A and B are shown apart, each in its own frame.
Chain A
Amino acid sequence: MNLRQQASAFAVHAVLLAYTALALAPIILVIMNSFKERKAIFGAPLQLPSPSTFSLIGYDKVFGDSAIASYYINSITVTGGTIFFTLLFGSMAAWALAEYKFRFNTFLAIFLAIGIMVPIRLGSVALIQLIAQLNLINTLTALILVYVAQNIPLAVFILSEFMGQIPKDLREAARCDGLSEYNIFFHIILPLLRPALATVAVFTMIPVWNDLWFPLLLAPARGKQTITLGIQQFLGQYITDWNSVLSALATAIIPVLILYVIFSRQLIRGLTSGAVK
């Protein structure tokens, strides 16, 4: 490597490092200060917590609010339920659209594709009335149903692409082996679709976990809030209590960061494999 190349490599890393710092600084700042006592938060916000400034008082307040555990349980239930049904129903529909010829095949594919571009949020006025008529207001079921409806189009789209990559011979070998169409799907296709399902699961998980709109509209009652809504309400309530606010933010951030670290390879691979085009 000559001097010029070294210099340009250095410049590239300088730019990327600077941007990475910009991306991470606010997050680190919040997490760092959430472990400090009030005086240190204001006096020396840029310093790491030291033995003299370390404090968990904010977390005491956050976890003292017994609801926080239920926020998590609700979020996990809603996200888990949404992922399960989105993957199941989405892959079933993708299989039928990819494999079988019937009159409304193209129509159905386009019908489902509308949902990729048009946000379901815009139907909120009628949706809230529908959920009320179904007696599902303030239930997690309502959230799951809406999120499954919201995520099915993209799931079908991505899974159809992957379905096309499973060799046709394999399905025909299974037909020669005497498997029913149902068994071909559940015993051959679904197991082979596992990497694609993981990608779709990650794509589904993040917006659902982070959503504020539908929990606010459909299930705002005490005991039914998801973590995003719960934290939002908690923050509104304790806005002047900086220890609590920072701890609440950190409480919401840390699990997502852990999940992200675990799934980032999956996610980035999904994004870069051209699944979304």
Chain B
Amino acid sequence: MIRFVRDMVRVLNLACEQHTALFSRELDEPIRPGERAGLWLHVRVCAGCRRFRRQMRAMREMARSLASGLEGGQAMPAGVRRRIGESLDVSGADGGAEDRAMAGEDSAPGV
């Protein structure tokens, strides 16, 4: 309880610029209950922080929708897929040579 009150008071005493850093941080990890309560109280009375926080959340939603937009649409052209597949084949064989060298087997000079 003491920690809760201490966190809340600390957050309430921060400048708005520091509140914006907390709005960003709460997108990445849960902040402490006292900090959350302090922010909640602050945005009741601060229009700038209220708007900033709303825009941070809107940006996150827009960003996530970019990723979900990857699910449908243009497929990889067949020629590109074939060329990449062939390059993986070659590289896989090289990787095998590396494995052989690491395992102490005879390998070509310089490998």
Q: Do A and B bind each other?
A: no
Name B residues whose Cβ lies closer than 8 Å to a Cβ of A: none
